[in-house]
Structure 1
Amino acid sequence: MERISVFGYGTTTRPIVKLLNTQGIVCAIFDDVFKQASHDQEGNALLPSSWFDPQTSDLEILSPGIPPSHPLLQKAKHPISEYDYFYDQFSPEYNPQSIWISGTNGKTTTTEMLTLLLKDQGAKSGGNIGTPLAELYRQKPPLWVLETSSFTLHYTHRAYPTFYLLLPVREDHISWHTSFEAYVQAKLKPLLIMQQDTFALLPQEFAHRYEAKNFLGKAFYYQDIQTLAQDVGVDTHALHFKGPFLLDALLALQAAKIFSSRIDTTLLNTFKIGQHRMEEFHDSKGRLWVDDSKGTNVDATLEALKSYADKKIFLILGGDDKGADLRPIFELARGLDIEIFAIGSNEEKLCVLAREYACVLHPCAELKNAVNAIKERLGRDGVGLLSPAAASLDQFSSYKERGELFCQYVTEEE
């Protein structure tokens, strides 16, 4: 029997282990959180990462968040992404079509929008959101719509989609990929694997790239909201979305048009934007607050700032910025009426940039301190904005917890 190791025991790999167990396969699971050897109820070994021995493993299924620099990857002889693993499981009896959606911002919204538009074709979303791939494989829907991270693409070498939709690519995850160029290469990698009779919808700026020129399928390009709306054939005023969500909506419509030769703006207008993404609410004094906790990179925060450029902005910024260059935020801030409230592990970095750009910044260390400081200053003509341009794991379990606590701190003691 094949000896399967699993690297990282998280959201994507737990369902795979469960599926393998139903097939009578017991796994060896390696994770940094395990400090000593143990077993779970199914008999899977739970082992510290340092215990991995490549001589006892025939296949290593990776959790996508594990960076290439991790010692486990230095030892692995047969590493495989979950995308490649399930690609190898497909057969003439079950070989679903798939749409992969990647990019820097808007992946979740666009994936959910496109799944809605293609629901009559049996579309079901998964990947980073929705149903885990192991569960999709068990349920066997005819169309997989997968939110796909650059981490997964980095590790995927054989699997490819029927349709690849790439949203704009901006600087993110630099510490993981080591450079912006490596990040871009990961985003464009599917083009080098996809075969004929496949399709891609890509930013115009990548048309000159080696990956695009060597793509065997049919590529469509987009440049901006105006030209994209013309290509789709819709009036943007007919859509109930604004800001970055309008681009997401148009890309979902264009993808549906290419994939199924039809669009449905009425159906799309029923879509509700998810929590913690430019989510507006008011406190008991009628003051505007915005939960953009999912704004985990520079480009997302820039879009949020532009959306409220006509107001006095009290911005909560900071966390694990993943090595990104934050200067564009401060360059934009110089032209706005803004005060910055710094939190998280990169607070000192933010303070240095604020001095360099002569921006008003208040070191707050923690989210609650920042919210309370804003409460003392915010008027009804301003906005309290949480758009941290950083991941949350330095102080929170997730961006969701960060957003929920933000809302709690805003509304308490009023």
Structure 2
Amino acid sequence: MIALLGYGKTNQALLEFINHNGEKCVVFDDAFIEKRIDSFGNNFLPPLQKVQTRLQIPSPGIPPFHPMIKQAQSLVSEYDFLLGDIKRQIWISGTNGKTTTTEMLEWILKDCGGISGGNIGVPLASLATLLPKIWILETSSFSLHYTQSVFPQVYLLLPIREDHISWHGSFDAYVRAKLSPIERMNHECVAVIPKEFEMFDEVLKSSAHIVTYGTSEDLADYFGFDLSQVKFQEPFLLDAMLALSGAKILTGKDLSKKLLDYKVGAHKVEEFQDEIGRVWVDDSKGTNVDATIWALRSYRGKKIYLILGGDDKGADLVPLFQELQEYDAEIFGIGSNVERLGDLAQKFKIRFSACYFLEQAIKEIDLKHSLESIAMLSPAASSLDQFVSYKQRGELFQEMAKKCRKA
């Protein structure tokens, strides 16, 4: 019997896959209060019940300090469990841009049988039933932390910045999780990574071919892409370069033309206007400091009303406030870290309003926003303290902002 630790979307799909292959599971989750058994004979139990199992597979989001993880004797990731015999895999990781790079790569390779999944879209276990010719996997640091044996044919690593510190325990542990698959990769594999990591042990010990980059231009030069034929600006240009690099490694072809019809997804520096024509920017996907800094740089020289706040996951926010000193910006704080934001704003002498809730922030911005200024939601924090997801946060922001009419 296999134990599934946690019962989110990932393990729900995994349970179905395991049952289809004739094995039963015991599922543990903090939300379970009492034991139940389903029609397949799977047991659903509160955590820490003693049951003999041959493997324990965690939901990626369960942190390593959770008692279920500490108690596990034979812990493997869903990647280890499902991907051992799969050859044509591309993993995409890093801090910002994973989703866009993954979506771009699927767009480029869809005619070659590429299908994306993992951290976005199709759960890994559901992807296993589709048997794509090319597996394109957005891979989180959580999944990488638990993965011990499998590795991709191609690994595309975006820049790494502070994120998920409370989960990993330190920035170094977060970085090491991101670099971990490189050490396992063999001479038939290619890893495309930021140049700053080329001397890390995980890279030096690897048998893979390592390609390093510092900028989008570096990737264009190495792989022979014409940047004038790629329509994106930073930060999406780097995403495009990495996606095209991965495609060229697998196919040997420059598939830049395939991206001409691709559009960046919602809630990523997405501009819209309210009823009187003022510009608002939905960057709800900006869940960490580096993402928010990139969003701000698109509007240098403008008056910016910036909504910040949420669950910042223990990250160092000082670099963001240092960046904000270069702007004519006013902050409107929401979410669980409002007091922390307020203290930093006072330290760096940046105007700040403690709004606590998104609706209040929008109301206060509405009174100040003009046709010449920019109103932006780029929280540098997770949404889960007040919202179901960054998507819900962004949708509510757009819904409320579009109705604004300056008094």
What TM-score does the superposition give when structure 2 sets the normalisation length?
A: 0.97
- Which of the residues 287, 290, 297 maps onto 1:299? 290
Matches within 5 A, 1:179-194: 179-194=170-185
Cα pair 2:58 2:69 within 8 Å, conserved: no
Instruction: Say yes or no: does 1:133 pair with 2:124.
Output: yes
Determine the C-alpha separation between the residues in 2 that align with 1:130 and 1:111. Answer: 10
Cα pair 2:90 2:246 within 8 Å, conserved: no
- Per the TM alignment, residue 260 of structure 1 is displaced from its structure 2 partner at its CA by 1.6
Residues 413/184 of structure 1: CA separation in 2 closer, same or farther (3 Å cut): closer
What is the match of residue 60 of structure 1? 56
What is the match of residue 360 of structure 1? 351
Any idea what the Cα deviations from partners look like across 1:378-411, whole Å, max 9, x if unmatched? 0011111000000111001111111111111112
Determine the C-alpha separation between the residues in 1 that align with 2:48 and 2:358. Answer: 35
Matched residue of 2:9: which SS?
A: coil
Determine the C-alpha separation between the residues in 2 that align with 1:255 and 1:137. Answer: 21
Instruction: Say yes or no: does 1:80 pair with 2:76.
Output: yes
Cα pair 2:275 2:404 within 8 Å, conserved: no
- Which of the residues 245, 248, 259 maps onto 1:257? 248
Cα pair 2:87 2:152 within 8 Å, conserved: no
Cα pair 1:60 1:79 within 8 Å, conserved: yes
Higher mean Cα deviation, 225-234 or 347-356? 225-234
Q: Aligned-pair RMSD on alpha carbons?
A: 1.3
What is the match of residue 2 of structure 2? 4
Matched residue of 1:49: which SS?
A: coil
Cα pair 1:97 1:143 within 8 Å, conserved: yes
Residues 375/40 of structure 1: CA separation in 2 closer, same or farther (3 Å cut): farther
- Which of the residues 143, 159, 163 maps onto 1:172? 163
What is the match of residue 328 of structure 2? 337
What is the match of residue 47 of structure 1? 45
Determine the C-alpha separation between the residues in 1 that align with 2:402 and 2:45. Answer: 43
Determine the C-alpha separation between the residues in 1 that align with 2:138 and 2:404. Answer: 39
Tell me how many residue pairs correspond in the alignment: 405
Tell me the amino acid that sits aligned with residue 81 of structure 2: Y
- Per the TM alignment, residue 42 of structure 1 is displaced from its structure 2 partner at its CA by 3.4
Tell me the amino acid that sits aligned with residue 279 of structure 2: L
Determine the C-alpha separation between the residues in 1 that align with 2:404 and 2:34. Answer: 44
Gaps of 5+ in 1: none
Any idea what the Cα deviations from partners look like across 1:13-53, whole Å, max 9, x if unmatched? 111101112223221111111122223443322211132x2
Determine the C-alpha separation between the residues in 2 that align with 1:101 and 1:239. Answer: 20
- Per the TM alignment, residue 338 of structure 1 is displaced from its structure 2 partner at its CA by 0.2
Determine the C-alpha separation between the residues in 2 that align with 1:367 and 1:17. Answer: 37
Any idea what the Cα deviations from partners look like across 1:314-371, whole Å, max 9, x if unmatched? 1000000000000111111111000000000011000110110011000000011011
Matched residue of 1:78: which SS?
A: coil
Tell me the amino acid that sits aligned with residue 149 of structure 2: R
What is the match of residue 221 of structure 1? 212
Cα pair 1:277 1:295 within 8 Å, conserved: yes
Matched residue of 1:28: which SS?
A: strand
Instruction: Say yes or no: does 1:243 pair with 2:243.
Output: no
Tell me the amino acid that sits aligned with residue 28 of structure 1: V
Instruction: Say yes or no: does 1:309 pair with 2:307.
Output: no
Determine the C-alpha separation between the residues in 2 that align with 1:232 and 1:312. Answer: 39
